[in-house]
Structure 1
Amino acid sequence: MFELIKNHNSLNTLDSLFSNVFTHSYSDYYLSHDDDLYHLELALPGLNKKDINLSVNDNYLFLSYEPKKDDKHNMWSGNCFNKRIRLPRSIKKDSISAKLKNGILSISIEKADRLDNNTSIEIK
């Protein structure tokens, strides 16, 4: 017979992700870390950095996109999305950097002792 095993872990928090395993992948983003930084990568094919909104509030990273009404010919930009990712408490808010290259949004977050409350992030 098969045994049902319940899994009660909170995979949305980076704290729990980085406590046991070096790298995690999900259907829509990859998480990893080293001694100094947390790294987050998201696939955003066909999107322009000007169209992506990225910010931090409290201990959440917010990512959103809404296509322009006149952009009907781009098959990748047809749907809007909003994503919220819980951040660990130990980050330096002012050190967050983001870069969009070849459809991959790479976000680096420096580790620290506490989280600042609110900031916007420029995508390079």
Structure 2
Amino acid sequence: MTTLVRYNTVPALVNRLMALNNYYNRPTYRGNGYVHTPAVNVKEDDGAFHLEVAAPGLKKEDFKVSVHKNTLTISFRQEQNTDETVGTYTRKEFGLLAFERSFRLPKTVDVGQIQATYVDGILKLDLPKVEVKEEQPKEITVA
């Protein structure tokens, strides 16, 4: 699970090593299809967080976006259609069948107002912010 807001406290060398790890994290074949983790951009402005998930060639009906407790989960699962077998592949490298990404949301996100759109291969989510009131300490008198 990824935290939505991340502060850069890691030295630049470690950041480069982590980028290399992401480069080698290519789609893998598991069981009946390819599984990989799509790239995600997270932007923040004064009023909201904006997520962009790179998921080209998919249908918006196949996405599932849910929030449980303080975790936003974006998943995709495509049923493999075995009725159309026209020819035999000697190698088949594309054909994404599933992925899932989870993000821990800060308390400032208004979960009831989250909106998602899928245009030109990019799933965009807008997570509006709401002002969180700090709890005031409550004194209890002992009787």
Q: Which consecutive aligned stretches of 4+ in structure 1 deviate over 4 angstroms post-superposition?
A: none
Match of 1:93 in 2: 111
The one-letter amino acid paired with 2:126 is S
Q: TM-score, normalised by structure 2?
A: 0.58
Partner residue, 2:73 = 62
- 1:15 equivalent to 2:9? Answer no
Gaps of 5+ in 1: 1-10, 19-25, 115-124
Q: How many residues align?
A: 97
Find the aligned partners of 1:83 and 1:16 in 2 and give their Cα distance: 16
* Equivalent position amino acid for 1:108 in 2: D
With the length of structure 1 as denominator, give the TM-score of the two structures: 0.66
The answer to whether the 8 A contact 1:67-1:77 is kept is no
Change (3 A) 1:17 1:102: farther
Q: Structure 1 counterpart of 2:115, which letter? A: S
1:77: Cα distance to partner?
A: 4.0
What is aligned with 2:36?
Answer: none
Task: State the structure with more CA Rg.
Answer: 2
1:61-111 deviations in Å (ceiling 9; x for gaps):
1111111121779x7543311111111111111110000000000100111
- Partner Cα distance (2:48, 2:42) in 1: 11
Match of 2:27 in 1: none
Q: 1:47–1:76: 8 Å Cα contact kept in structure 2?
A: no
Could you say which residue in structure 1 is the equivalent of 2:126?
108
Structure 1 residue 12: deviation in Å?
A: 2.7
DSSP-derived class of the 2:56 partner: coil
